Amino acid sequence: MRTETVENYLKTIYNLSSDNTLVVTNQQLADKLSINPASVTEALRKLHELKYVIYEKSYGTRLTTAGSKLALGIVRRHRIWETYLVKELGFGWDEVHVIAEELEHVQNDKLINKLAEILGNPVYDPHGDPIPDAKGKILKSNFIKLSETKPKGNYKVMGVIDHSTAFLKYLDKHQLIIGATITIKTIEEFDNSIILICQKKDVNISPKAAECIIVQAL
Amino acid sequence: MRTETVENYLKTIYNLSSDNTLVVTNQQLADKLSINPASVTEALRKLHELKYVIYEKSYGTRLTTAGSKLALGIVRRHRIWETYLVKELGFGWDEVHVIAEELEHVQNDKLINKLAEILGNPVYDPHGDPIPDAKGKILKSNFIKLSETKPKGNYKVMGVIDHSTAFLKYLDKHQLIIGATITIKTIEEFDNSIILICQKKDVNISPKAAECIIVQAL
DNA sequence: TTATTAATTTTGGTATACCTAAAAGTTAAT
DNA sequence: ATTAACTTTTAGGTATACCAAAATTAATAA
Ligand SMILES: [Mn+2]
Ligand SMILES: [Mn+2]
Ligand SMILES: [Mn+2]
Ligand SMILES: [Mn+2]
């Protein structure tokens, strides 16, 4: 298997399994990778042979220790590059994900560690995701989704789940950026959209968007 | 064809054809790419169909205008990355080639132009090779190889042809770095090795190494 | 429980990018 | 002009990584 393919599978399994607590289904992988489910089955069989995953037929997949180690390396590279692009090269948080998708596959530990050092060994990337250290150690936070908040509560935006340009530009427009403080005003009965106050302005967030915003109670 | 494969062929054809004046043979490509000649034939047929090269059976290959444009882009990316790794990230000139082999395939003009801008739009890379500008324009120099020099002459080291770590470390050891001034003492009759003075010390250069060092007469 | 629906796997197939071995073509030497 | 040496191409084959369609298996609803 080509390393880039292996890496994309391992990273995606990692991202979908929430720190290896969940078993990942073929469907989820097919969706995330935009690949036919039949191809996912084949790939998982090979990854199982390579001992990067434990794939149980018709049930699901999870990473082995070896697979986890690799996945964390890829995630580290992705997030370090995103941070470097934003902090050192002046890119917007809405532009860096696609570039990091390519840069993450460049295999050179010295390079990544050098970038990390220049950045002061950051612990969070521009989207609020934790960056594993060189040994693969990663912080786990207990933040919640905006969709899980209650009216009248005050929260701080800690991160986003979706890294697409479209979504991040939409957040920029409403100043819903990392660190922003918000107050939940109401939740619409009709469609579950959330009305919150950010920078003294009312903002209406769709349920779909609320699933992609990570906050911390204040 | 996978873009990375196409890119590696185009770049290699470019590097072997000395600015499109020479026709490149299959053998040369097979050697440089460490690929079987039979595979080169197949690949060239496809590149011809894609109109990136003019491939004449049993004769040779040269780049089309479209192929040249692409090749210059890849060469630009390779050399900008090498320069960035040395100048901004503290790598040695002997370490950067392999990393740039990967980074050169990351497709993002804004990124490369940003790096170039930070570097002050450099015209030469750490090995003395000219860097094409964003439009593909490239300086052509009329420097000569060390193997073409005459005894008693004074020269300045302008570049190297081989980018391998082994070769560059060997040059470092003798202080034969870019910008160094040298005087040719003699050329051994026996094996054509060159004895020159660099930093007041005698250095003996094999004919093979002399083919890989670019100098300018002073 | 039995349909119905949905997810997964199998089957058969494509395109890419390599390979080895053999055949054909080219170049150079006698 | 032949032979010999080398280069290139053809023929046949492998592994990867995908696909669509059909068959199977699992989950859900009636
Ligand atoms: Mn990302
Ligand atoms: Mn990727
Ligand atoms: Mn190089
Ligand atoms: Mn390359």
pLDDT at site B35 = 98
Q: What is the CATH number of the domain that holds B177?
A: 2.30.30.90
The Å distance, Cα A145 to ligand 1 centre, comes to: 18
Q: Is B14 exposed, middle or buried (0-12, 13-18, 19+ CB in 10 A)?
A: buried
A102 touches chain B (CB under 8 A): yes
Whose CA is closest to B107, among B73, B130, B82? B73
pLDDT tens digits for range B5-42: 999 999 999 999 987 889 999 999 999 999 999 999 99
Q: Is the pLDDT of residue B192 over 90?
A: no
pLDDT at site B191 = 85
- Count of helices and strands (H, E) across chain A: 8, 8
Task: Yes or no: say if A125 and A82 are a contact pair by the CB < 8 Å rule.
Answer: yes
User: Quick check: is B45 in a domain?
Assistant: yes
Closest-CA distance of chain A to residue B54, Å: 30
Chain A residue with the nearest C-alpha to that of B102? A106
pLDDT band (50, 70, 90) for residue B211: very high
Q: Does the beta-carbon distance from A102 to B108 stay under 8 Å?
A: yes
pLDDT tens digits for range A136-186: 999 998 899 999 999 999 999 999 999 999 999 999 999 999 999 999 999
Which of A86, A102, A117, A118 should one mutate to test binding to chain B, selecting the residue with the greatest count of B CBs within 10 A? A102
User: Quick check: is A109 in a domain?
Assistant: no
pLDDT at site A18 = 85
User: Quick check: is A195 in a domain?
Assistant: yes
User: Quick check: is A156 in a domain?
Assistant: yes
Q: Is the pLDDT of residue B189 over 90?
A: no
Q: What is the 3-state secondary structure (H, E, C) of chain B?
A: CCHHHHHHHHHHHHHHCCCCCCCECHHHHHHHHCCCHHHHHHHHHHHHHCCCEEEECCCEEEECHHHHHHHHHHHHHHHHHHHHHHHCCCCCCCCHHHHHHHHCCCCCHHHHHHHHHHCCCCCECCCCCECCCCCCCCCCCCCEEHHHCCCCCEEEEEEECCCCHHHHHHHHHCCCCCCCEEEEEEECCCCCCEEEEECCEEEEECHHHHCCEEEEEC
CA atoms within 13 A on the CB side of A205: 31
User: Quick check: is A127 in a domain?
Assistant: no
Q: Percent of chain B beyond pLDDT 70?
A: 100
Please give the tally of structural domains in chain B.
Answer: 2
Q: What is the CATH number of the domain that holds A49?
A: 1.10.10.10
Closest-CA distance of chain B to residue A73, Å: 17
Domain around A188: 144-217
Q: Which residue ranges of chain A lie beneath pLDDT 50?
A: none
Q: Which residues contact B9 (CB under 8 A, 6 or more apart)?
A: B29, B33, B43, B44, B47
The two structure tokens encoding residue A102 = 């390519």
Beta strands B201-205; B213-217: pairing state: unpaired
pLDDT at site A155 = 97
CA atoms within 13 A on the CB side of A130: 15
Q: How far apart are CA A47 and CA A67, in angstroms?
A: 9
Closest-CA distance of chain B to residue A197, Å: 35
Over range B112-139, report the average pLDDT: 98
pLDDT tens digits for range B82-111: 999 999 999 999 999 999 999 999 999 999
Point out the domain boundary residue: B23, B41, B63. B63
User: Quick check: is A137 in a domain?
Assistant: no
pLDDT at site B20 = 84
User: Quick check: is B81 in a domain?
Assistant: no
Q: How far apart are CA B209 and CA B63, in angstroms?
A: 29
Point out the domain boundary residue: B63, B90, B115. B63
Point out the domain boundary residue: B63, B81, B102. B63
Chain A residue with the nearest C-alpha to that of B112? A89
Provide φ and ψ at A202, rounded to 5°: -75, 135
User: Quick check: is A180 in a domain?
Assistant: yes
A58 touches chain B (CB under 8 A): no
Provide φ and ψ at B101, rounded to 5°: -60, -30
Chain B residue with the nearest C-alpha to that of A118? B89
The Å distance, Cα B166 to ligand 3 centre, comes to: 14
